[in-house]
Chains A and B, each alone.
Chain A
Amino acid sequence: MPVEPWLIFILSVMIIASIAALEMEDILSSIVAIGVVGLGVSLSFLFLQAPDLAIVQFLFEIFAVIILVRAFLKKDYHKEKPSTINKILAGVTVITLAAIFIFSISVFELLPPFGEPLMTTAQYYLDNGAKDTGAANLVSSIVLDYRAYDTLGEVTVLFAAILGTFTILRIKSKSKKEKTELDHAAK
């Protein structure tokens, strides 16, 4: 099996935490469980020798937990009603997923070892990255030199995201203002 035991341990912790996040009634406990899942993701990135990704993932998880706590703290979403489940449908889903898992064990055994067949492009980056770009951090040289178009797209996505947030929240507050003005006029 190409999957290491510690990775299985981290993955099982993440699965348990995500089930806990779904099942808990208190929404703050769910947010904490989501934070545990994110910590597991960044830890597994760190142990899979991707420190760049681990740092970014870890910081974004902190950020997401702060946003979620801040957004849900003062609202009345604290308690959630238990959802009703169609038992036959749930049983069929569980059986199907279990069958898929059992049949895919042989697929896992066929997988090559981690990072083993090196692609031609990756080999080129490894050989010539430092010489071509002058950057000691190979990830930086790929993200900002060989694949800078991608980064431009990411910057555009961020720009569009904040534009959308501002637009939507402005419409909301504007309509609230108009509503209060109408109420005052009615009185």
Chain B
Amino acid sequence: MRQNDGMTLIVKTVTRISVWMILLYGIYIIFHGHLSPGGGFAGGVIIALAFLNVMLAYGRKFTSDWLNISFLHDVEAASATLFLIIGILGISIGGSFLANFLMKGELFALISSGTILPLNIVIGIKVGMSLFLVVWVLAGSKTVKGE
């Protein structure tokens, strides 16, 4: 499959530099979800777009070497479970499901707002992995993992 081996050298070089900045921006958006506009969903989409950038520029084979696709699958399923675990911890510590049981902290500080920050991180991982995997499967349904 010659045409699936990615784009020209210029695109590959730019991608090699820019993909880390895109990932960093996604992580920033996730971690500042409780302070500024954004949050888990927006940051997760940015992370998925960064992976998608690599897939479009370098092709499927390089991407499946670079990222362990079945590991991404496990992370994606585990983050959904993690959300549930945080909710159940809310029952046992805070008294009700998804209760905010951690320290509230100071307003406008990075480490503040109790469980909102961990829930944002979990949702960001979940959304990023899910959207990337959906595109991964849709783009090349010939080689589906897990058969």
Q: Give the B-binding residues of A (Cβ under 8 A).
A: 51-52, 54-56, 59-60, 62-63, 66-67, 70-71, 130, 132-137, 139-141, 143-145, 148-149, 151-152, 155-156, 158-159, 161-162, 165-166, 169-170, 172-174
Contact = CB atoms under 8 A, between A and B. Distances in A.
B144 A170 contact: yes
A141 B115 CA distance: 10
Nearest to A58: B42
B121 to A, nearest CB: 11
B135 A148 contact: no
Given A70-B138, A155-B83, A165-B137, 17 more contacts: A55-B37, A56-B45, A66-B49, A66-B52, A70-B135, A70-B139, A133-B104, A134-B114, A136-B35, A144-B39, A148-B87, A148-B98, A158-B126, A161-B134, A162-B130, A166-B144, A173-B147
B112 interface: yes
B80 A137 contact: no
Interface of B: 29, 33-42, 45-46, 48-49, 52, 56, 76-77, 80, 83-84, 87, 97-98, 100, 104-108, 112-116, 119-120, 123, 126-127, 130-131, 133-135, 137-139, 141-144, 146-147
B113 A162 contact: no
Contact of B147 (A152, A158, A170): A170
A165 B135 CA distance: 10
15 contacts: A63-B49, A66-B52, A66-B135, A71-B138, A130-B107, A134-B107, A140-B113, A144-B34, A151-B83, A151-B123, A152-B87, A152-B98, A155-B126, A170-B144, A172-B141
Contacts of A174: 147
Contacts of A63: 45, 48-49, 52, 131
Contacts of B135: 66-67, 70
A78 to B, nearest CB: 17
Contacts of B146: 166, 170
A151 B76 CA distance: 16
Given A55-B42, A156-B80, A148 B119 contact: yes
| Most-contacted residue by chain B among A67, A149, A152 (CB, 10 A) | A152
Contact of B144 (A59, A60, A70, A173): A173
Given A56-B41, A141-B113, A166-B144, A158 B137 contact: no
A133 B100 contact: yes
B114 A149 contact: no
B39 to A, nearest CB: 5
Given A63-B131, A165-B138, A139 B39 contact: yes
A165 B134 contact: yes
